[in-house]
Amino acid sequence: MSGKPKVLIIDDERAILDTVEILLRGEGFHAVSYHDAREAIDRLDEEAPDIVLTDIRMPHVSGIEVLTAVRERDPETPVILMTAQASLQSAVNAVNQGAYYYLQKPFSNAELVTLLRRAAETRILSRENRALKKEIRRRDPAAAGRPTGTSRSFVDVLQLAEMVAPTDSTVLITGESGTGKEVLARYIHRLSEREDGPYVSINCGALPENLLESELFGHVKGSFTGAVRDKQGLLEAARGGTFFLDEVAEMSPQLQVKLLRAIQEREIVAVGSTDVREIDVRIIAATNRDLDHEIRAGTFRSDLYYRLNVITLHLPPLREREEDVQLLAERFLGRLAEQHGRPGLRVTPEAMALLRAHDWPGNVRELENALERAVIVTDGDVVDVDALPGRVREPAATPLVTENAPANPTLEIIERAYILWVLEAEQGNKARAAEVLGIDPSTLYRKLNRYGIGNG
């Protein structure tokens, strides 16, 4: 806030507007008044008020609706509600919905001015705290939850992520399952100008197409069986924040068209509706697939790919980050030991050597799972070799691709072989295999059917 605090006044009584506006200007405020609450809401972004002072009972739009609109734009903007028909319950309800104060008419000039000055001070403190937090994160990336790793390939990715984070550019994160794509997405959000807004994510492979569409864009009552009320879509719920689309390549081509339009036009239409609603989100998408191959196969739209592929961040697999294994293991062990009431737990050099030597086909997620198991089965103060999973203690000697494999296997052949390998390592447990693969069980079952593995 620089200069005079800006107060947006909304009331359907022009006499009150004129009186309050003259008073506030005389007391050092920048006052702007609106007789029509709908117009005031439409111009919130343009006006960018420091404080909003609004009547509750107005035609067409209530003060509570103004409060909701202001909080969607900026939850830290103080909103003061005025009414001539106050009750204890209505005051409690208003405060519960985020109002800064509930002011009963008639009020004295001194009471109003004192209240507004206090609200302005609150606003200043809020902005100073936000600026301080950003400065701390700028000076110490670890304070923003910087992902762990010192390998050159991984650090290069983090540095690019830190460069793009303050922008609003769309980001596409690629990499094998379990490499930490969502961890990186959250890190970008925390470093962005949208950090105070929501971070909303969805796994595109976890839901059937009709439910995924409803989750993304919302629906209106009666649009399909079970739609008993209107539902806001997650793209709209993420207003002012970041929306993370995990496993975006699992989305059907038909739904890809709707997502493309949402990204291009910054607007959506709920299922069963014709009303267009604007969205204000930063899109981060992730996939473990080769999208160039998916485009050639006709399963992923090239126009959507080019919309998503503004900035690409490719996370290297853990087998290419051997020097990071010990760092990650120590970090996971510290957190897991604390969670299980076992502070001070450490890994023996022999066990750490096995951890560093393992290929980690499930990447960082598999390493974390292995350490969680080790913490649970360890009785003493050290995690020894015997506490590690069998696949880490005794690596399989059988190669993943046999001598009979084609010279240039397709991605489908490699993916099928990898799924078979993980299933064998997990002794046929599909739920555990899906977890290691980093996909939803329903997605694994679809792949089993697709590749003719078992009974699906």
What is the DSSP annotation of 198-249?
-EEEEETTSS-HHHHHHHHHEE-TTSSTT--S-EE-HHHHTTTEEEEEETGG
Is pLDDT above 70 for 403?
no
Q: What is the pLDDT of residues 44-103, one digit of tens each?
A: 988 989 999 999 888 888 888 899 888 888 888 999 998 876 555 666 666 767 888 888
CATH code assigned at 412:
1.10.10.60
Do residues 158 and 304 share a domain? yes
**What is the rounded distance in angstroms from the CA atom of residue 272 to the CA atom of residue 198?**
26
3 falls in which pLDDT band (50, 70, 90)?
Answer: confident
Nearest to 80 by CA among 40, 112, 39, 127: 112
Do residues 365 and 426 share a domain? no
At 202 the pLDDT is 94
Mean pLDDT of 231-246: 92
CATH code assigned at 337:
1.10.8.60
Is pLDDT above 70 for 1?
no
Whether 193 and 178 have beta carbons less than 8 Å apart is answered as no
Burial of 90 (0-12, 13-18, 19+ CB in 10 A): middle
Do residues 151 and 272 share a domain? yes
Backbone angles phi, psi at 346, to 5 degrees: -135, 165
Residue 104 falls within a domain, yes or no?
Answer: yes
Mean pLDDT of 5-18: 91
pTM above 0.85, yes or no: no
Residue 22 falls within a domain, yes or no?
Answer: yes
Backbone angles phi, psi at 34, to 5 degrees: -135, 130
CATH code assigned at 254:
3.40.50.300
User: Residue 350 corresponds to which tokens in the numbers above?
Assistant: 């022999």
Residue 272 gets the label, from left (phi > 0), alpha (psi -120 to 50) or beta, of: left
Do residues 297 and 150 share a domain? yes
Residue numbers of the domain that contains 452: 396-456
Domain count, the chain: 4
Residues near 283 by beta carbon (within 8 Å), at least 6 away in sequence: 170, 171, 242, 243, 245, 263, 308
At 128 the pLDDT is 75
Residue 140 falls within a domain, yes or no?
Answer: no
CATH code assigned at 97:
3.40.50.2300
Backbone angles phi, psi at 307, to 5 degrees: -70, -40
Residue 419 falls within a domain, yes or no?
Answer: yes
**Going by DSSP bridges, is the β-strand pair 311-314/171-174 parallel, antiparallel, or unpaired?**
parallel
Q: What is the pLDDT of residues 184-216, one digit of tens each?
A: 999 999 999 898 889 999 999 888 888 899 999
411 falls in which pLDDT band (50, 70, 90)?
Answer: confident
The number of residues making up the chain comes to 456
Final residue of a structural domain among 371, 392, 413: 392
Do residues 163 and 243 share a domain? yes
Do residues 303 and 450 share a domain? no
133 falls in which pLDDT band (50, 70, 90)?
Answer: low
Q: What is the pLDDT of residues 103-120, one digit of tens each?
A: 888 889 999 999 999 999
Residue 326 falls within a domain, yes or no?
Answer: yes
Is pLDDT above 90 for 174?
yes
Task: Find tokens 């059937």 and name the residue.
Answer: 208
DSSP 143: G
274 falls in which pLDDT band (50, 70, 90)?
Answer: confident
Do residues 43 and 94 share a domain? yes
CA angle 429, 426, 433 (to 5 degrees): 65
Mean pLDDT of 237-253: 93
DSSP 400: S
